[in-house]
Amino acid sequence: MKSCLVVDDSKVIRKVARRILEELSFETIEAVDGRDALDQCNRSMPDVVLLDWNMPVMNGLDFLIELRQTPGIQQPIVVFCTTENDLSHIKIALEAGADEYIMKPFDREIIEAKFAQVGLV
Amino acid sequence: MNSEDFELMRDLLKTRSGLIITPDKVYLLESRLTPLARRSGLEGLDDLVAKIRTERNEELITEVVDAMTTNESFFFRDKNPFDAMENSILPALRESRADRKHLRIWCAAASSGQEPYSIALIMKEKWEMWKDWRIEILGTDISRKILDKARRGLYSQFEVQRGLPVQMMIKYFTQKGDLWELSEDIRSMVQYKELNLLQSFDGLGRFDVIFCRNVLIYFDTDNKASVLDRMYEHLAPDGSVFLGAAETVLGITNRYKPVRGLRGVYAPTDAEGNIAPAALSLTG
Ligand SMILES: C[S@@+](CC[C@H](N)C(=O)[O-])C[C@H]1O[C@@H](n2cnc3c(N)ncnc32)[C@H](O)[C@@H]1O
């Protein structure tokens, strides 16, 4: 079973994402911001991270940059999932090492399609 | 809805578009046609059927057929067929057509364009292979309305996220308010034409590849066979036909056989019932 870390400061979004991911047979872990997500990754690296952008403490982009700069780890697939839906944000995210990008609102079909895109389903 | 009304609508849809409505799908008539009835200033479905019965108003009938067809489509739908296209079919055609440098591809139920554009995008991504070739991609559909949308190449945020890799999205689309517009470069690779699959294919010429995906599933066996058999006449002997994930030729026509190793891809058979050697080696 593959594991997915859902990083979002909204409890509602985490819950919706969890439901979809569990339907897609992912073991789902949650983090409330980038810092929390880095801690979780240190404990156990997920196969994929579903990542919000705007969060308190540490935002998604800073998390991604730090993650990608960490040597000697099994780098997970990172899929942004954010309300930032303009081209400039998307380009920044990809440059920082995101594998895919979901513009909110999302549903099961989009998660499934994007995860298929990166070879996860 | 009474049974006479049901039969009228069932027969109308079957003869006009091939769509089969079984009695358990009456709710589909109600949910899809009630809004149309209201928009036409009628009380509801019963009035709409009465109007069709008495007036045989072509414009209204076209709208009924349109409202009853499922137009759902997305980029790189099911992914597999497009991988087969990119990795097996197109490389093989590039070799076998090297002297003519001309390819003709037909999407026979093009809907809002995601399918023909996905093919165009695959080819554009490897343009050095095709740049001195003449590439024709024809998209046809019964619905004029949906073809207008295809031509515009404007997709919602939801549509561009279904199946389209983000790298392709940022490379070939620009943002227009809430919508995403496919570049003129890609749009101009596809020509669109209204065509009912139940009617003659005369004048279309011969194709190297035919995509006929997620439309035959709505037809009865006779119409499925008729469409596939007539397509055979418009397919190169070493060409291929792509069907949807829930569709097959088995039990419908023996003019094609599945290409081993490429799910959803079918090759035309010759008089002995064999498929072209080229099709056999496609997966190799
Ligand atoms: C579900 S869509 C499939 C689109 C695309 N091929 C795909 O697989 O994503 C079916 C399309 O078939 C078209 N269609 C239905 N009956 C047809 C007919 N008799 N002739 C031509 N097109 C037809 C509909 O208008 C609709 O756009």
Q: Is residue A120 very low, low, confident or very high in pLDDT (cuts 50, 70, 90)?
A: confident
Chain A within 8 Å of B205 (Cβ-Cβ)?
Answer: no
CB < 8 Å from B in window 83-102 of A = 85-87, 90-91, 94, 100-102
Is B141 close to ligand 1, i.e. is its CB under 6 Å away? yes
Q: What is the pLDDT of residue B278?
A: 72
Chain A hits for B166, CB-CB cut-off 8 Å, are: 90, 94, 100-101, 114, 117
d(CA B55, CA B283): 55
Crossing angle for the helix pair B45-55 and B58-68, nearest 10 degrees? 140
How remote is the CA of residue B143 from the centroid of ligand 1, in Å?
8
CA distances from B6 to B1, B25, B38, B220 (A): 7, 10, 19, 18
Mutate to test the interface with A, among B158, B166, B167, B183 (most CBs of A within 10 A): B166
Task: Give CA angle at B101 (B100, B106), nearest 5°.
Answer: 105
Q: What is the pLDDT of residue A24?
A: 95
- B158–A110 C-beta distance less than 8 A: yes
Residue identifier of the C-alpha nearest atom 7 of ligand 1: B73
ipTM for the predicted complex comes to 0.91
How remote is the CA of residue B207 from the centroid of ligand 1, in Å?
19
Question: Exposed, middle or buried by CB within 10 Å (0-12, 13-18, 19+), for B170?
Answer: middle
DSSP assignments along chain A, one per residue = -EEEEEE-S-HHHHHHHHHHHHHTTEEEEEESSHHHHHHHHHH---SEEEE-S--SSS-HHHHHHHHHH-TTS-PPEEEEEES--SHHHHHHHHHTT-SEEEESS--HHHHHHHHHHTT--
Chain A within 8 Å of B3 (Cβ-Cβ)?
Answer: no
Contact, B64 vs B54, CB < 8 A? no
- B170–A94 C-beta distance less than 8 A: yes
The closest alpha carbon to B274, from B262, B256, B249, belongs to: B256
Task: Give CA angle at A64 (A62, A65), nearest 5°.
Answer: 65
CA distances from B189 to B71, B101, B119, B124, B213 (A): 22, 16, 10, 9, 20
How remote is the CA of residue B39 from the centroid of ligand 1, in Å?
24
Go through the domains of chain A in sequence order and give each one's CATH number: 3-117 (3.40.50.2300)
Residues of chain B with pLDDT under 70: 280, 283-284
Q: Which pTM was predicted? A: 0.94
Is B139 close to ligand 1, i.e. is its CB under 6 Å away? no
> Is cis: bond before A71, omega within 30 of 0?
no
Q: Which atom from ligand 1 is nearest to the alpha carbon of B195? A: 21
Q: Is the dihedral of CA B70, B74, B79, B82 positive or negative?
A: positive
Chain B within 8 Å of A26 (Cβ-Cβ)?
Answer: no
Question: How many CB atoms are closer than 10 A to CB A35?
Answer: 17
Chain A within 8 Å of B80 (Cβ-Cβ)?
Answer: no
Residue identifier of the C-alpha nearest atom 27 of ligand 1: B111
d(CA B182, CA B113): 11
d(CA B14, CA B143): 15
Q: Per residue in A56-85, pLDDT tens?
A: 999 999 999 999 999 999 999 999 999 999
Q: Per residue in A92-112, pLDDT tens?
A: 999 999 999 999 999 999 999
Chain B within 8 Å of A106 (Cβ-Cβ)?
Answer: yes
Go through the domains of chain B in sequence order and give each one's CATH number: 3-69 (1.10.155.10), 80-283 (3.40.50.150)
Q: What is the pLDDT of residue B283?
A: 62
Chain A within 8 Å of B156 (Cβ-Cβ)?
Answer: no
